């Protein structure tokens, strides 16, 4: 019975490939007649109808394997991209510039989950004076997202001390992020809005964003927010206790 099940599980994948049009049953065994092929397919079909859990098990095994492969690939890519992740001169840095642990966040100003997560970032930086925080502007949701990111990068380039207050104001803003609204927020923060207009579409800002998008591609980032802490990749929203625990593990060498 066990050998039969193993045989059938193997045939599931063969049939899946067959259905996709990559191979056909006759090419797998040219000696089989069309009637024999139909008989084999009928046996498989009946068995799977009577034992559907085999399909579920096969799918779960496939998903588990894909997840393992993705994690392995991402860890390798994290190692290769470490310098760009941590020390890209175009990426804003907050907290302790010489901190013993670095948190990297990929975010979008129009992302509701990013806004939710940001609610505890100032507290985290205040409670952990030895933490370094790298902000990776990754506008992927809308043209407004990109406009806000471009404005923020100009602020980082020319008025570094104004970046975090501006970032905070953008994250806490509600409603649209039109150019007029973005510039209004900047003006309230004492930021040179003329320079934003002049530089937000500059070659340098283009390159900053391109590097972030390329990193996102390499790390297979499909949404925001995403945190990278040491060799740990954390997609999606996270709460303050959880991120503090991860930082603690990194400090302990975990």
**Residue 4: is its pLDDT beyond 50?**
no
Tens digits of residue pLDDT in 147-158: 999 999 999 999
Pair 41, 97 in one domain = no
Pair 107, 225 in one domain = yes
Using DSSP's 3-state secondary structure scheme, residue 24 falls into coil
Pair 139, 243 in one domain = yes
Band of residue 57 on the pLDDT scale cut at 50, 70, 90: confident
Range of the domain at 67: 2-73
Kindly state the average pLDDT of the residues 16-38.
Answer: 57
Tens digits of residue pLDDT in 111-141: 999 999 999 999 999 999 999 999 999 999 9
Q: Omega of the bond prior to 225 within 30 degrees of 0, cis?
A: yes
Sign of CA dihedral 148, 138, 227, 61: positive
- What is the number of residues in the chain? 254
> 101-107 and 131-137: which strand pairing?
parallel
Task: State the Cα–Cα distance between residues 234 and 225, nearest whole angstrom.
Answer: 9
| Contact status, residue 251 vs residue 100, Cβ threshold 8 Å | yes
**Residue 254: is its pLDDT beyond 50?**
yes
Kindly state the average pLDDT of the residues 186-195.
Answer: 96
Where do we find the tokens 């498989």?
A: 44
Pair 111, 225 in one domain = yes
At 186 the pLDDT is: 97
φ, ψ for residue 230 (rounded to 5)?
Answer: 65, -125
What does the angle CA 142 – CA 92 – CA 186 come to, to the nearest 5 degrees?
60
At 248 the pLDDT is: 95
| Residue where a domain stops, chosen among 26, 50, 73 | 73
Pair 37, 151 in one domain = no
Here the CATH number for the domain that contains residue 124 is 3.40.30.10
| Residue where a domain stops, chosen among 23, 55, 73 | 73
**Residue 250: is its pLDDT beyond 90?**
yes
Pair 122, 64 in one domain = no
In the chain, the number of structural domains is 2
Pair 143, 26 in one domain = no
Pair 155, 233 in one domain = yes
**Residue 3: is its pLDDT beyond 90?**
no
Pair 29, 135 in one domain = no
Pair 60, 111 in one domain = no
Where do we find the tokens 């927010």?
A: 225
Pair 32, 155 in one domain = no
Band of residue 11 on the pLDDT scale cut at 50, 70, 90: low
At 75 the pLDDT is: 76
Pair 90, 64 in one domain = no
**Residue 70: is its pLDDT beyond 60?**
yes
| Residue where a domain stops, chosen among 73, 91, 126 | 73
| Contact status, residue 107 vs residue 223, Cβ threshold 8 Å | no
At 66 the pLDDT is: 67
CB within 8 A of 196, min separation 6: which ones?
A: 151, 154, 155, 182, 183, 186
């Amino acid at each position: 019975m066990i050998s039969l099940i193993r045989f059938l599980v193997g045939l599931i994948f063969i049939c899946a490939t067959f259905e996709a049009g990559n191979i056909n049953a006759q090419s797998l065994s040219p000696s089989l007649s069309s009637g024999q092929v139909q008989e084999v397919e009928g046996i498989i079909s009946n068995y799977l109808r009577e034992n559907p859990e085999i399909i579920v098990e096969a799918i779960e095994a496939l998903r588990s394997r894909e997840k393992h492969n993705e994690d392995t690939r991402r860890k390798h890519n994290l190692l290769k991209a470490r310098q760009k992740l941590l020390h890209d001169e175009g990426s804003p840095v907050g907290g302790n510039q010489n901190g013993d642990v670095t948190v990297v966040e990929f975010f979008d100003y129009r992302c509701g989950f990013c806004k939710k997560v940001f609610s505890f970032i100032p507290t985290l930086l205040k409670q952990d004076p030895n933490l370094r925080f790298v902000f990776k502007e990754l506008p992927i949701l809308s043209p407004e997202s990109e406009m806000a990111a471009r404005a923020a990068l100009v602020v980082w380039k020319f008025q570094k001390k104004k970046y975090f207050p501006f970032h905070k104001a953008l994250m806490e803003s509600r409603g649209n992020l039109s150019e007029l609204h973005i510039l209004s927020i900047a003006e309230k923060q004492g930021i040179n809005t003329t320079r934003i207009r002049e530089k937000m579409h500059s070659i340098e800002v283009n390159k900053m964003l391109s590097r972030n998008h390329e990193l996102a591609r390499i790390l297979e980032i499909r949404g925001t927010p995403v945190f990278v802490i040491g060799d740990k990749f954390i997609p999606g929203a996270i709460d303050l206790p959880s991120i503090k625990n991860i930082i603690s593990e990194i400090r302990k060498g975990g």
